[in-house]
A and B are shown apart, each in its own frame.
Chain A
Amino acid sequence: MKIAVAIKQVPDRDAPVRIAASSKWIDESEMQWAMNEPDAYALEEALLLKEQAGGEVIVVSAGPERVGSTIREALAKGADRAIHIVCDDLSGRDALGVARLLAAAIKPENPDLVLTGLQSEDLGLGQTGVIIAELLELPHATMILHVEKTDAGLKVKRELEEGWFQSIEMSLPAVLTMQSGGNKLRYATLMGIKRAKTKQLRTVNAAELGVDGAAVVALDQIAAPKKQKITQILQGSAKEAAAALVEKLKTEARVL
């Protein structure tokens, strides 16, 4: 099976996020970056499917030069080759604009399966995979935890709300967005990191893909979120703060 995996580089979860002077985006200088975690699960599923049934795993990612480090991480984990869509204005494109880039790079590969994470940890839109399916005119399923190859195509386990699940059968080619937690993520081995250097990493400029980049949804401004409650922060040493909290819970909130 030939599998394309769309991955995104996002700010590291623990990195502080600061608003840029323009209020239009975050300050990206000194930011630490990481692979979007749901995309890491999509990559893991692709690698497992390849190990079971053979084939090829191609990683596709859009973004500026720094994205190369996340792509190399995917190659080190076992992807066979990669396409880097070099694009310096990713945050100015909306979900449709980004999906158009990814779909244009994926289409000539004619993959049997396209996988991506169900959402990104930065924008949290959860739309890119679904829109790629629409652009490639393929069936899709979202929030998938397990993928099983069958004679007719795929049988997937989809997560529903509040602890419910559902199986869905579909033919190939198809697009799936992967939920996190379905598998255990692998680490890149030293050998993998070494091998990654010899693997093909093709770069293509976003402009060469000839897709419409005009946004239909525009980010007006970003700000620190409004507080929904006034939080009493309890100060002091661990012991003092703990004692103060217990006192508050007993006499003020009356929940102990």
Chain B
Amino acid sequence: MNSILVVQEARKDGRARLFQETLVAGRKLAGLTGLPLEAAGAGDPNKNIFLEISGPPPVAGHAVQHPLLETYTADGYVLAFEQLIRKLEPAYVVFPHTYQVRDFVPRLAARFGQVLIGDVTAIEAGPLFVRQLFQGKMSATYRHTGNGPCFVSIQSGAFRDDSASGGAMNIYHFTPDIPAEAIRTRPGEPFRGSEQTVDLGSAQRIVSVGRGIKEAENLPLVEELATALGAELAASRPICDNGWLPMERQVGSSGQTVAPKLYLAVGISGAIQHLVGMKGSQCIVAINKDPDAPIFEVADYGIVGDLFELVPALTEAVRTAKQ
């Protein structure tokens, strides 16, 4: 039990920021516990494993390499990291909270008789780990009480990285023993769901609609507001799940990540999965009937009330202002 092990998700474009944020969380934990920081990443033996590091580098970088780790499988990754953790015996193992981590780390933790403390937004003295409950309506602090490594995953965007570019790590190679028959799933190549015809990422203004709209028949109400504002129309997941709007208009962890000048959320409660996709917006406006809806935690402006009255009034006010 001698270190904090920060795990990098597979080397992939656009994943550098996540690794940096995970390192920031690891440093926070190191500051609270006095333990040294190590890093680990997995992949193919013929490739560089680690992304660039900003800030003070960890004392060691463990490159977990095996031909069967080139393509991610839960079985392969659980086995590889189980062996690395048994060797290093870290006190804490810190991951970014990605789909891949959600896929294999609960299983890895269970192999040690432990439970992943997932989607952590802050770390406090104790250490106590803060995460959200009830779709963001509550915040909870958790502590690890087990005898074994403490597994933690960090929510994207929660630990901002503002350190300058840092030095290099000493790299140590680790070759896990992975028998081919241990891998029981055959993953195919990733593919896009459908042709992308809307680029929400470059939109200046977005009007986004959620469950509060109740019926598909009510959508023209928000479409008119979007038109008046010169905004793209977007939605939270349930609207796209119901087929009321195409999936490509979905904002959130499973859809697009956006950061427009104006993000106007209509009838969206603001579950974490939605917030991670839009909280970087410059100005956030929320219209919701529930004053306790988590969307108001990130909103600059809010109106509490019935969207069926408020949206037409707002459309009218925007039109008047433009004249």
CA–CA, A206 and B278, complex, Å? 42
Are B114 and A238 in contact, with the CB atoms below 8 A? no
Q: Quick check: is B118 within 8 A (CB to CB) of the other chain? A: yes
Q: Quick check: is B177 within 8 A (CB to CB) of the other chain? A: no
Chain A window 84-104, contacts with chain B (Cβ cutoff 8 Å), 1 for yes, 0 for no: 000000000011100100000
Are A160 and B99 in contact, with the CB atoms below 8 A? yes
Residues in A whose Cβ lies below 8 Å from that of B184: 139, 170-171
Are B305 and A217 in contact, with the CB atoms below 8 A? no
Query: Among B138, B143, B248, B317, which residue has its beta carbon within 8 angstroms of that of A246?
Result: B317
Query: Among B117, B139, B321, which residue has its beta carbon within 8 angstroms of that of A225?
Result: B139
A42 to chain B, nearest CB (A): 14
Q: Quick check: is A232 within 8 A (CB to CB) of the other chain? A: yes
Query: Among B133, B229, B300, which residue has its beta carbon within 8 angstroms of that of A123?
Result: B133
Which segment of B38-46, B55-63, B86-94, B253-261 sits at the interface? B253-261
Residue of B nearest to A96 (CB): B115
Residue of A nearest to B269 (CB): A13
Interface positions of B from 271 to 323, Cβ below 8 Å from A: 272, 279, 282-286, 291-292, 294, 296-306, 309-310, 312-314, 316-318, 320-321
Q: Quick check: is B241 within 8 A (CB to CB) of the other chain? A: yes
Are B141 and A221 in contact, with the CB atoms below 8 A? yes
Q: How many residues of B contact A (CB 8 A)?
A: 98
Residues in B whose Cβ lies below 8 Å from that of A256: 229, 262, 318, 321
Interface positions of A from 214 to 228, Cβ below 8 Å from B: 215-228
Residues in A whose Cβ lies below 8 Å from that of B304: 233
Q: Quick check: is A159 within 8 A (CB to CB) of the other chain? A: yes
Interface centre among B104, B106, B142, B254 (most CB of A within 10 A): B106
Closest 4 CB pairs of A and B: A216-B146, A181-B241, A139-B184, A127-B106
Give me 25 A-to-B residue pairs in the complex whose CB atoms sit less than 8 angstroms apart, sorted by A's number. A17-B134, A130-B102, A130-B104, A131-B107, A139-B184, A181-B242, A215-B145, A217-B114, A219-B142, A222-B133, A222-B141, A225-B136, A225-B139, A226-B139, A226-B297, A231-B302, A232-B302, A234-B301, A238-B310, A239-B313, A241-B303, A245-B285, A246-B320, A256-B262, A256-B321
